[in-house]
Amino acid sequence: MKADEIKKVLIIGSGSMGQQIGAACAISGIAVNMYDVADEVLVTSKERTRKLLGYLVKIGKLKPGEDEQAFLKMSFTADPAEAAEGVDLVSENVPEDPKLKGEVFAKFNKLCPEHAIFTTNTSTLLPSMFADASGRPEKLVALHFHDIRMTDVVDVMPHPGSAKETVELVRDFALRIGQNPIVMHRQSPGYVFNFMLSELFKTAQTLAANEVASVFDVDRAWMGVLHAPIGPFGMMDSVGLDTVWKITDYWAKKLNEPQALKNAAFMKLYVDRGELGQKTGKGFYTYPNPEFTRPGFVKGEYSDKNSK
Ligand SMILES: NC(=O)c1ccc[n+]([C@@H]2O[C@H](COP(=O)([O-])OP(=O)(O)OC[C@H]3O[C@@H](n4cnc5c(N)ncnc54)[C@H](O)[C@@H]3O)[C@@H](O)[C@H]2O)c1
């Protein structure tokens, strides 16, 4: 099979990422079956997908009318057999649990055509964790999306049993749906960008937790030197400080690393105050209109509570 022969895609799990990936495929003229566990869930997914497509028009990623055209390519069903019928590629987007992902792949292995390629959008797991359960390990790779509203970079990550042809096909498929694939040579947790980002978060936290520099000054350095619109702490606010704290704390305890434990404790101060970032209106910055977006921020006109 060639990428341009992919006519129908199945999205398993129609939550926030399922909606985005389904929309990206439909925009490219591919028929999409959105599958989820219950009709009630699908009602919400349908509404949110329509909103997402409308938003893509609003930000100029689509022309008016292209959103409706894309939406017409999408069907929503809670019937697994109907969802799997005639599909050429599957994108799995169920919650981050290796056992669940394995069960889902095993179920759809029985229902999908033999030629269908399986992809997972897992954030932190490795495809080898459910390759055997999928029943078609050679046809399985990770195809990992970021946020299609903001970026068009995806990771293609094989596991040791992925066929070379599968990797090439998924890379070509990513290009076909307007994404820029980063093809990895082998599996590694966190893919490419997220791996770098987690290291950046860690070093930024270390500087602030050790009182080497204030939060605002760390971001000013990053933004000022790179002419970047946001710094590491601004990015943490946008991810959510509860999520960043959970990941920091998990790895700190698992590796029993003193500096990482100190960084987790620093993050927890914000979490305990309910300052979770953009979503709660307060984190390292205040929202809307966070300090780092204001003129004069890089010049040092604002200071935070970690400033001396
Ligand atoms: N949210 C992100 O920023 C992001 C980015 C990249 C990758 N991911 C990964 O994408 C995956 C999905 O994340 P999300 O944020 O879309 O989660 P979500 O909670 O928004 O959606 C998950 C969906 O899966 C459905 N589901 C649960 N069990 C199912 C089953 N057995 N069969 C079919 N559907 C089932 C749920 O009903 C829900 O609609 C996760 O592996 C996550 O790590 C998330």
Res 244 pLDDT > 70: yes
- CATH number for the domain including 124? 3.40.50.720
Instruction: Return mean pLDDT, the chain.
Output: 96
Residue 92 sits in the same domain as residue 140: yes
* pTM given for the model: 0.89
Q: Which domain holds residue 73?
A: 3-183
Q: For residue 7, what pLDDT is reported? A: 98
Predicted pLDDT at 308: 52
User: Residue 166 — pLDDT band, cuts 50, 70, 90?
Assistant: very high
Which of the four pLDDT bands, split at 50, 70 and 90, describes residue 39? very high
307 has pLDDT over 60: no
Same domain, 29 and 174: yes
Of 17, 40, 129, 236, the one to substitute when testing ligand 1's pocket (max ligand atoms within 8 A of C-beta) is 17
Task: Please work out whether the CB of residue 22 comes within 6 Å of at least one atom of ligand 1.
Answer: no
Ligand 1 within 6 A of CB of 96: yes
Residue 308 buriedness (CB in 10 A; 0-12 / 13-18 / 19+): exposed
* Model confidence band, residue 243 (pLDDT cutoffs 50, 70, 90): confident
User: How many angstroms is it from 121 CA to the middle of ligand 1?
Assistant: 9
Among 134, 164, 183, which residue terminates a domain? 183
* Model confidence at 304: pLDDT above 90: no
Strands 89-92 and 8-12: parallel
**Residue 159 maps to a domain:** yes
Residue in 20, 98, 101 with CA at minimum distance from that of residue 61: 20
The last residue of one of the domains, among 183, 204, 228, is 183
